[in-house]
Amino acid sequence: MPELERKIKDGLDRLMERPDPAQIVERVGERKRHLRVLHRAQTVALVVAVLAGVAGGTYGLSRAFGLGGSRPASSSVPPAPSPVPSVSVTPSPATPSPSPSAAGIALCSDQTAVVTVVSQTGGAGTISTTWRITNTSRTPCRSYGYPGMDFHTSSGWLHVHVIQGQGFANVDYPPTRIVVLPGHPMYFVSDWGDVSGPAGLCLPFDRVKVTLPGSRVPVELASSGCLDPVRVHVGPVTKTPPP
């Protein structure tokens, strides 16, 4: 029991002791200073970490996108403007009105043709005649080649087979394709013998048939003369009369 009483007495003595206020204030101040130093150290470490992260990110972006390269210093003097080239405009020539094309144009036929004699000359046993064929339709027509001819005598039509070219120069030339406008003519030349030949005497005639190239129906007209039916030469149709 004496030991227990001693411990109780020591405890009561300690409770009765008053702490020194100065020591308490000093300990509190030291504690605050320690906390402030620790807080500043943490703040500095955080700032350093943030700056390091920003610097690393900026470097990575500059490497990825090629940023941060050195650029030449800009000059305060603006560059001289480049000269504006002068453009010369050459006017295009006026396009001529196209002439009617033979494609899609009907053949000249007996239904829209009038045949007349332009001129006739004779010499050295040959009669040379220039014929005019006028297009009487309201649309163009086309033609190409040699016309046919026949002659009517007292015994009827002779059924002449003309010779294409192969004679004098006025009938001996190649044909060309032509387009005859409404109201315009085309021409051809015929040569025939007007003296007795292998078929007999020169046969007088009073009418003539002209069959246009590509047509089967002839144009008939009144014309008279005398001919050897086996010596009839014709030239091709042309747009202008032969010289």
Bridge partner residues of 116 (DSSP): 132
Bridge partner residues of 132 (DSSP): 116, 187
**116 and 227 within one domain:** yes
Classify 158 as helix, strand or coil: coil
114 assigned to some structural domain: yes
pLDDT for residue 200: 59
* Mean pLDDT computed over 16-29: 67
Structure tokens at 93: 């020539």
Phi, psi of 217 (to 5 degrees): -100, 125
pLDDT for residue 95: 46
**135 and 28 within one domain:** no
Residues 6+ apart with CB under 8 A from 117: 129, 130, 131, 132, 223
Cα separation, 212 vs 175, whole angstroms: 13
Among 63-77, 122-136, 148-162, 199-213, which stretch is predicted with the lowest mean pLDDT?
A: 63-77
Cα dist from 242 to 61, 116, 157, 183, whole Å: 92, 15, 28, 19
Cα separation, 206 vs 192, whole angstroms: 15
Cα separation, 162 vs 169, whole angstroms: 16
Q: Name the more confident of 18 and 143.
A: 143
**115 and 22 within one domain:** no
76 assigned to some structural domain: no
**217 and 119 within one domain:** yes
**123 and 45 within one domain:** no
Bridge partner residues of 153 (DSSP): 156
101 assigned to some structural domain: no
**199 and 134 within one domain:** yes
**26 and 124 within one domain:** no
Instruction: Kindly report, residue by residue over 106-148, the tens digit of the pLDDT.
Output: 999 889 899 999 998 887 788 889 999 999 999 999 999 999 9
Q: Name the more confident of 226 and 78.
A: 226
Q: Name the more confident of 172 and 66.
A: 172
78 assigned to some structural domain: no
89 assigned to some structural domain: no
**118 and 55 within one domain:** no
**43 and 146 within one domain:** no
Ranges of beta strands (E only) in the chain are 113-123, 126-135, 141-143, 148-153, 156-157, 163-164, 178-180, 185-193, 203-211, 219-227, 232-234
133 assigned to some structural domain: yes
Phi, psi of 225 (to 5 degrees): 165, -160
99 assigned to some structural domain: no
Out of 26, 49, 64, a domain closes at 64
Do residues 185 and 135 make contact, with C-beta atoms less than 8 angstroms apart? yes
Rounded to a whole number of angstroms, the CA Rg of the chain reads: 63
In 3D, which of 168, 230, 173 has the Cα closest to residue 201? Answer: 230
Domain residues for the domain of 132 are 110-234
Could you give the number of structural domains in the chain? 2
**158 and 48 within one domain:** no
Instruction: Kindly report, residue by residue over 147-169, the tens digit of the pLDDT.
Output: 999 999 999 999 999 988 887 88
**127 and 223 within one domain:** yes
Structure tokens at 20: 């020194």
Cα separation, 89 vs 86, whole angstroms: 10
* pTM > 0.75: yes or no: no
Give the CATH number for residue 142: 2.60.40
Structure tokens at 205: 């005639």
The three-point CA angle 186-192-196 to 5° equals 165
104 assigned to some structural domain: no
**59 and 128 within one domain:** no
